[in-house]
Amino acid sequence: MLEALEALRQSFPEYAKDIKLNLSSVLSDSSLSVDQRWGVAVASAIACNSPQLKEATLADARNHVEPRVLEDAAASAVLMAMNNIYYRFRHMVDKPSYGQKPPRLRMNRIMQPTSTKVDFELYSLAVSAIHGCEMCVQSHEKALMGHNVTEDQVNDAIRIAAVFHAAAQVLTAGL
């Protein structure tokens, strides 16, 4: 049951009808597992910086997944907030000398998730797409392919990220 997201969705204005419809379907029509869907949704909601969207998503997610999924989704969102800035800078500047410098940024949680490595990678991919970090998107997609995740699953994770990002924009627009 999606009570909190449904209430939020119902508040969307007419101009956002497509986002309203997509928000109702993107979490149900998916090749992803329940943990993966909700983890991507939570990580995306956090990455979008919309308190309303984050609270509604967390409220509903708590009815569907264990706390470890929520913890990994949050860990992914905050780690990617750091990594996406760092690696996007490297990509934009495109100087080989920066690529030779060690990041010296702690990111142990990526290697030690409380859920699964595949799920954490999906959450990280979604957040990296929201933040627009090409290097990180490519890296996470490659890692997922190495774990035999299908392109449909990757596509569904990105669909969730895209819809949640659009929903956050609706809430920010305030029209």
Q: Can you give the pLDDT at residue 171? A: 95
What's the structural domain count of the chain? 1
Residue 9 pLDDT: 93
Site of tokens 């895209």: 162
Q: What is the DSSP string of 68-110?
A: HHHHHHHHHHHHHHHHHHHHHHHHHH--HHHHTS------GGG
Of 136, 137, 144, 170, catalytic: 136
Choice among 70, 125, 133, 168 that is catalytic: 133
Give the model confidence (pLDDT) of 74-100 as tens digits: 999 999 999 999 999 999 999 999 999
What CATH code is carried by the domain that includes residue 18?
1.20.1290.10
Which residue segment(s) compose the domain that 130 sits in? 3-173
Please return the burial class of 47, using the count of CB atoms within 10 Å of its CB with bins 0-12, 13-18 and 19+.
Answer: buried
| Residue ranges of the chain whose pLDDT lies below 70 | 1
Report pLDDT digits (tens) over 20-42: 999 989 999 899 999 999 999 99
Count CB neighbours of 90 within 10 A: 17
Q: Is 136 a catalytic residue?
A: yes
Rounded-to-integer distance, Cα 21 and Cα 10, Å:
10
Q: How far apart are CA 18 and CA 152, in angstroms?
A: 22
Q: How far apart are CA 22 and CA 63, in angstroms?
A: 21
pLDDT for residue 29:
81
> How many residues in total does the chain contain?
175
Return the structure tokens found at 154: 């990757």
User: Does the reported pTM lie above 0.85?
Assistant: yes
